[in-house]
């Protein structure tokens, strides 16, 4: 521990202690989504199951709700519904990460947690920070207990990446196959002419988790955006999945509606075996979902958590101006491969938050008042509309086959409309949590996520449908505690 680290720990703890005092006063603060105590949150990182606990790290700027120098915040849980906040785990306190502890992953072996991340450095001067002026260092932090991270080591710098890469190489994800370790990193490769850079994934290989050599470079057959962020490679029910967040992809009607995209390619074989990528499929069709990461838990499930936000978007989050915090994470989603695509469903542990159940049939409309945190299952084969707090609606038109998510007014904070095609509607499942909505269509065939900001803590929900059935639950808050080392 150096002097910089000690001072940062004191400053962060003081900032968080003051924020804890107002924890329950803010009606926009989610009750069952992980969020920052104060300041800014973005990418989930280092997701893992370790020594009986789920660990969720996240990029964190406690001093600036609009995003300043990034640290890693840290939550842990035994059951995904009762969480301890353990403060900031990794600080920007070394020459190789002094401008930010950027995204990365966790690898567990021999009761040891290995955290790999990108150490960001931006030099002072007249630089474009794409081709010059920026260091993207790969850093390894090791812990024997999942709580203390005192051993940090810079294991790769820009000179270890291919020379035709720009300075944008980041977000390591590590796994093991047989007697080798592998790592993917997102990269921006220089094009043959100015302005035609393209995204790719770099694959590295190691025998000791410390010394890494480039093994392969993977990209789509045709250029697809100028940068691929947050790569994640994993097997899923016999398929090989490469998830990435491409930047610079042009919208195509209702496809690629956000500024940056978030989705996956299915590969014809393992990424370590000269694979070929299939088409790109979006993971979420709403306004606020980016930089997801997956891990395998002790039950063998592939679990995914994403950032409920979107970088550089032209819409806002009023919590930044009014409550001094911004953003949250999605609920944990369990992934399955079926019908030629990834399906996502909320982790079943969230059902422990359910209170009384209301069931009913709809032949016209149904209204429920005084709601804030709740879960709705609607079974319907025709068209429908669900209205939340008046200015948010989810509707389905069986003729156009579109599910439309529409927001307007102050509640929207600049969000407007998103849509996705669904051939046949059978079920829509909503998780509503004060200022975040997650929509699961047909058991997770399609998913849409958005933030929204009602004027009051409670609001009204209305369903219109000619013929349908529903289940409705009010939901309890998750338990949030300050951990013993806080």
Residues identified as active-site: 43
Burial label for 187, CB within 10 Å (0-12, 13-18, 19+), is buried
In Å, how far are 266, 307, 462 from 304, measured between CA atoms?
Answer: 17, 10, 30
Structure tokens at 349: 């542990």
Considering only CA atoms, which of 44, 181, 195 is closest in space to residue 131?
A: 195
DSSP tag of 140: E
Cβ contacts of 351-355, under 8 Å, gap ≥ 24: 352/79, 352/81, 353/32, 353/81, 353/475, 353/476, 353/477, 353/478, 354/473, 354/474, 354/475, 354/476, 355/473, 355/474, 355/475, 355/476
Query: 9-42 burial, b if ≥16 CB within 10 A, otherwise e?
Result: eeebeebbeebeeeeeebebbbbbbbbbbbbbbb
- Compute, in degrees rounded to 10, the torsion defined by CA atoms 27, 33, 38, 42: -130
């Amino acid at each position: 521990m150096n002097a910089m680290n000690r001072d940062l720990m004191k400053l962060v703890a003081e900032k968080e202690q003051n924020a804890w005092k107002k924890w329950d006063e803010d009606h926009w603060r989610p009750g069952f989504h992980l969020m920052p105590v104060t300041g800014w949150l973005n990418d989930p990182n280092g997701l893992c199951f370790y020594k009986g606990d789920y660990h969720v790290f996240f990029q964190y700027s406690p001093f600036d709700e609009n995003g300043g120098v990034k640290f890693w915040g840290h939550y842990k849980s035994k059951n995904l519904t009762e969480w301890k906040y353990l403060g900031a785990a990794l600080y920007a306190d070394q020459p190789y990460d002094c401008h930010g502890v950027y995204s990365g992953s966790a690898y567990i072996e021999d009761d040891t947690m290995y955290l790999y991340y990108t150490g960001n450095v931006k030099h002072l001067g007249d630089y474009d920070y794409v081709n010059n002026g920026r260091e993207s260092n790969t850093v390894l932090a090791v812990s024997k207990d999942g709580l203390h991270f005192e051993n940090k080591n810079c294991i790769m710098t820009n000179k270890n990446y291919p020379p035709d890469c720009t300075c944008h190489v980041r977000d390591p994800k590590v796994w093991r196959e047989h007697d080798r370790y592998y790592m993917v990193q997102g990269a921006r490769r220089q094009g043959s002419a100015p302005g035609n850079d393209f995204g790719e994934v770099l694959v590295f290989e190691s025998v000791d988790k410390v010394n890494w050599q480039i093994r392969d470079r993977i990209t789509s057959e045709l250029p697809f955006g100028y940068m691929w962020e947050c790569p994640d490679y994993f097997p899923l029910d016999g398929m090989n999945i490469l998830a990435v967040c491409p930047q610079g992809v042009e919208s195509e009607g209702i496809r690629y509606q956000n500024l940056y995209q978030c989705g996956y390619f299915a590969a014809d074989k393992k990424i370590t075996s000269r694979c070929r990528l299939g088409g790109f499929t979006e993971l979420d069709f709403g306004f606020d979902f980016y930089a997801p990461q997956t891990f395998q838990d002790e039950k063998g499930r592939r679990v995914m958590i994403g950032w409920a936000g979107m970088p550089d978007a032209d819409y806002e989050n009023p919590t930044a101006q009014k409550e001094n915090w911004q953003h949250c994470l999605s609920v944990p989603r369990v992934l399955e491969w079926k019908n030629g695509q990834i399906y996502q469903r909320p982790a079943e542990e969230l059902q422990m938050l359910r209170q009384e159940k209301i069931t009913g049939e709809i032949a016209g409309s149904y209204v429920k008042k005084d709601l804030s945190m709740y879960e709705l299952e609607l079974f319907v084969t025709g068209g429908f509309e669900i209205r939340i707090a008046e200015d948010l609606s989810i509707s389905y038109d069986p003729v156009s086959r579109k599910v439309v998510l529409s927001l307007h007014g102050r509640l929207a904070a600049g969000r407007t409309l998103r849509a996705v095609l669904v051939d046949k509607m059978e079920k829509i499942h909503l998780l509503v949590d004060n200022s975040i909505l997650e929509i699961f269509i047909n058991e997770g065939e399609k998913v849409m996520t958005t933030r929204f900001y009602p004027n009051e803590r409670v609001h009204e929900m209305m369903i219109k449908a000619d013929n349908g059935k529903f289940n409705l639950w009010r939901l309890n808050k998750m338990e949030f505690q300050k951990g013993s080392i806080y």
